[in-house]
Amino acid sequence: MPNREGEDPNAENGNDFLQDISRISRLIKPYHIVGLSEYDEYINAFQDSFDQELWALLKYDPSSTGWEKLLKKKINYLIDSKRSLLQNIDSFQYDVAIVTALREPELEAVLNLNGNWEPFKLDNDATEYHKGIFQKDEKRVSVVAASAPQMGMVATSVLTNKIITSFRPKFIIMTGIAGGVKDAANFGDVLVTEISYDSGSGKIKTDDHDNSIFEPDYKSIELDVDVKELLLSCKTNRNYLDEIKKKWMGNKPLHELNIRIGPLASGAGVIQNQKIIDEIKGHSRKLIGIDMETYGVFYTAKNCSKPRPLSVMSFKSLSDFGDKHKSDDYQKYCAYTSANFAYHFILNELTSL
């Protein structure tokens, strides 16, 4: 091949071009390289270069079909191997993915679980992921965890989609902290999302007196029925709850730790206004909590490319009531109760599905 347009072809240029493909990391490389030459002198001259890269160099002979059969065999092998890789993509690679909105204290609480965690990154992806193994006796559960770069449905939905695409988890669980509804739960209680919806979905209108009116149009996503039954059993039997609270050595409320199962609304902003809480509750009388992310995780898990996760869950613990008294007093305790309930549920209940 010529070095530049208009120049005479030279065998050395072809070999140099192939070496550039091997050497320059930014280039998109072919799966394999097969060289063909009719001339023995070129075969002898460049055989070592091909051998060092484990490439094939064939002698082209117009009077024979031997080279053609070898080439077809190689091509068929490459096709079959790529087909096998694509088939593996269609299977689950991790048992569970844990998603959080905050690195501290939410992801921190997850990484404090006994998982022998290892941080890692993917090419062309700035997110730091953590892989680990939850183990109980002979049971081993592979887990991948990560936190979004910021709060909100968009950021968490993007992270969830990256995790699903890259790791194909069988189950997705969101852990962390959330706002609660007074008289529905107490500080630290694990809020299990039975129905997830976007509290900002709807239409804003103006009435005859120029007052703004919001007409909600919620598109809800429900928790998987089989998972809900397992969680109802945990709630009834108080599985793990007393043990989880007892092991926390920091600041914690006096009341016992409980599981609350019900609707959770996700919105665009942090709420510190009781009136807004009451308005949201007015459209969902059994509302147990509010956050900024769960609906994004649920929606992504339900609408991503196949194979989709078998189920998506949100176990967020109540850290405030979204009113003027909102504080961070119990955030670390709540991140702890959320992560530890997820840990026990994964090892003792979820793997039965």
pLDDT string in tens for the chain (353-residue length): 888 888 888 888 888 888 888 888 888 888 889 989 889 998 899 899 889 988 888 999 988 888 999 999 989 988 888 776 655 556 899 999 999 999 999 999 999 999 999 999 999 999 999 999 999 998 999 999 999 999 999 999 999 999 999 999 999 999 999 998 888 889 999 999 999 999 888 888 888 888 888 887 888 999 999 999 999 999 999 989 999 999 999 999 999 999 999 999 998 777 767 777 777 776 778 899 999 999 999 999 999 988 899 999 999 999 988 767 777 789 999 999 999 999 999 999 987 66
> Which one, of 304, 308, 300, lies nearest residue 91 by Cα?
308
Q: Cα(266)–Cα(293) distance, rounded to whole angstroms? A: 6
Whether the Cβ atoms of residue 223 and residue 195 lie closer than 8 Å to each other: yes
- Tell me how crowded residue 185 is: count the other CB atoms within 10 A of its CB: 21
Amino acid found at 261: I
Whether the Cβ atoms of residue 312 and residue 172 lie closer than 8 Å to each other: yes
Within its chain, how far is the Cα of 285 from the centroid? 31
Q: Cα(221)–Cα(223) distance, rounded to whole angstroms? A: 7
Q: Tokens 């962390």 sit at which residue? A: 176
> Which one, of 141, 170, 92, 172, lies nearest residue 132 by Cα?
141
Q: Cα(254)–Cα(196) distance, rounded to whole angstroms? A: 29
Q: Which two tokens stand for residue 220?
A: 């809800």
For the chain, where are the alpha helices, taking DSSP H only?
11-23, 40-52, 66-89, 108-111, 153-167, 225-237, 241-247, 274-282, 294-303, 331-348
